[in-house]
Amino acid sequence: MLEAIEEAFGHKEKVEFDKLLIEHVLPQTISNNSAGRNWKAMLGENWSEGHEKYVHTLGNLTLTGYNPDLSNSSFEMKKDLLKQSHLDLNKYFTDFDVWNADAILARSKKLVEEVIRRWPRPLSDVQYAASAEAMSPSSTVREK
């Protein structure tokens, strides 16, 4: 999905996806070092629950060639490295000062909108409704 979304930007130059890895912006592991403490503070009091809930969601994933350099770094460091990326997917992060549940949900929404544009479902009389969790309002995140 991430490759297809990146391709949808319509680059004239081919992106070499075989040289990219999936990056979890909110890291898969949060340590007790300074970067880990920054993540915990950013996620808030119930950081562990938020981490578990959002770490593997679409909004928290991106593609990068900097994966080993990013690792479990702070968001500020990840954001600085992602600024160097030539992928349009990674331009999204430059305007954010925090990467928390609200930010991840906002990006998830944008990416899902692109997925729906790329792969619309067939017309049907069956009505679908998103879960309340998927539709939770995001009041503290600026949309790009």
Q: Is residue 76 part of a domain?
A: yes
29: left (phi over 0), alpha (psi -120 to 50) or beta: beta
Q: Is residue 40 part of a domain?
A: yes
Identify whether the C-beta of residue 39 lies closer than 8 Å to the C-beta of residue 77: no
Q: What is the pLDDT of residue 142?
A: 46
Q: Is residue 6 part of a domain?
A: yes
β partners of residue 63:
22
Q: pTM here?
A: 0.80
Q: Is residue 79 part of a domain?
A: yes
Which of 88, 87, 96, 99 has the alpha carbon at shortest distance from 41?
Answer: 99
Number of helical H runs and strand E runs in the chain: 6, 2
Residue 120 above 90 pLDDT?
A: no
Residue 91 above 90 pLDDT?
A: yes
pLDDT tens per residue, range 10-23: 878 888 999 999 99
Domain containing residue 69? 2-118
Give the count of domains, the chain: 1
Share of residues in the chain with pLDDT > 90 (%): 65
Measure Cα distances from 7 to 48, 123, 144 in Å: 34, 25, 19
Residue 104 above 90 pLDDT?
A: yes
- Distance between CA 69 and CA 77 in Å, rounded? 10
